[in-house]
Amino acid sequence: MMIQAQATITIAESRSLQGEITPPGDKSISHRAAILNSIASGRATISNFAPGGDCLATISCLRALGVPIRRTGPGGRPTVSIHGNGADGLREATDVLDARDSATAMRLLWGLLAGRPFLTIITGDASLRSRPMDRLIDPLRLMGADISGRAGDSRAPLVIKGRPLTGVEFDLPVPSAQIKSALLLAGLFASGGTVLRQPSPSRDHTERLLKLMGAKLEDEANLVSLRPLSGHLSPASLRVPGDISSAAYFLVAGAVHDNARIVIRDCGVNPTRTGIIDVLRAMGARLEILNRRVEAGEPLADIVVESSDLKGVEIGGELIPRLVDELPVLAVAACYARGRTVIRNATELRVKESDRIATVSTELTRLGAVVEPLPDGMEIHGGRRLSGTEVSSHLDHRLAMSLGVAALIAKGKTTIKHATVARVSYPSFWQHMGQLSS
List of residues contacting ligand S3P (CB under 6 A): 28, 104, 176-178, 181, 202-203, 324-325, 348
- Work out how close the CB of 130 gets to ligand S3P at its nearest, in angstroms, rounded to a whole number: 15
Task: Quote the distance between the C-alpha of residue 233 and its chain's center.
Answer: 25
Question: Nearest to ligand S3P by Cβ — which residue?
Answer: 28
Backbone φ and ψ of 171, nearest 5°: -95, 115
What is the gyration radius of the CA atoms in the chain, in angstroms? 21
**How far separated are the first and last CA of the chain, in Å rounded?**
7
**134 in active site:** no
Catalytic residue among 101, 325, 376, 396: 325
Nearest to 120 by CA among 84, 90, 160: 160
Number of Cβ within 10 Å of residue 257's Cβ equals 26
- Work out how close the CB of 177 gets to ligand S3P at its nearest, in angstroms, rounded to a whole number: 4
- Work out how close the CB of 174 gets to ligand S3P at its nearest, in angstroms, rounded to a whole number: 7
CA distance 271 to 202: 10
Q: Which is nearer to ligand S3P, 101 or 266 (CB)?
A: 101
Whether the CA torsion 279, 282, 284, 286 is positive or negative: it is positive
Which 8-state DSSP code applies to residue 402?
H
Strand ranges, E, within 210-259: 217-220, 223-226, 238-239
- Work out how close the CB of 102 gets to ligand S3P at its nearest, in angstroms, rounded to a whole number: 9
Q: Which is nearer to ligand S3P, 298 or 325 (CB)?
A: 325
CA distance 222 to 200: 6
CA–CA distance from 416 to each of 23, 40, 388, 397 (Å)?
22, 43, 10, 12
- Work out how close the CB of 438 gets to ligand S3P at its nearest, in angstroms, rounded to a whole number: 32
Backbone φ and ψ of 41, nearest 5°: -110, 100
CA distance 364 to 377: 14
Nearest to 397 by CA among 107, 122, 103: 103
| Residues facing 264 on adjacent strands | 21, 303
Angle in degrees, 0-180, between the axes of helices 53-64 and 27-38, rounded to the nearest 10: 10
Q: Which is nearer to ligand S3P, 59 or 410 (CB)?
A: 59
- Work out how close the CB of 276 gets to ligand S3P at its nearest, in angstroms, rounded to a whole number: 13
- Work out how close the CB of 203 gets to ligand S3P at its nearest, in angstroms, rounded to a whole number: 6
Q: Which is nearer to ligand S3P, 273 or 432 (CB)?
A: 273
Which phi-psi region, left, alpha or beta, contains residue 114 (left: φ > 0; alpha: ψ -120 to 50)?
A: alpha
- Work out how close the CB of 86 gets to ligand S3P at its nearest, in angstroms, rounded to a whole number: 24
The set of residues, in sequence order, having a beta carbon less than 8 Å from that of 393 and lying 6+ positions away, is 399, 400, 403, 416, 417, 418, 419, 421, 422
Q: Which is nearer to ligand S3P, 203 or 394 (CB)?
A: 203
Q: Which is nearer to ligand S3P, 58 or 194 (CB)?
A: 58
Whether the CA torsion 402, 26, 273, 325 is positive or negative: it is negative
Number of Cβ within 10 Å of residue 375's Cβ equals 9
Which sequence positions are flagged as catalytic? 325
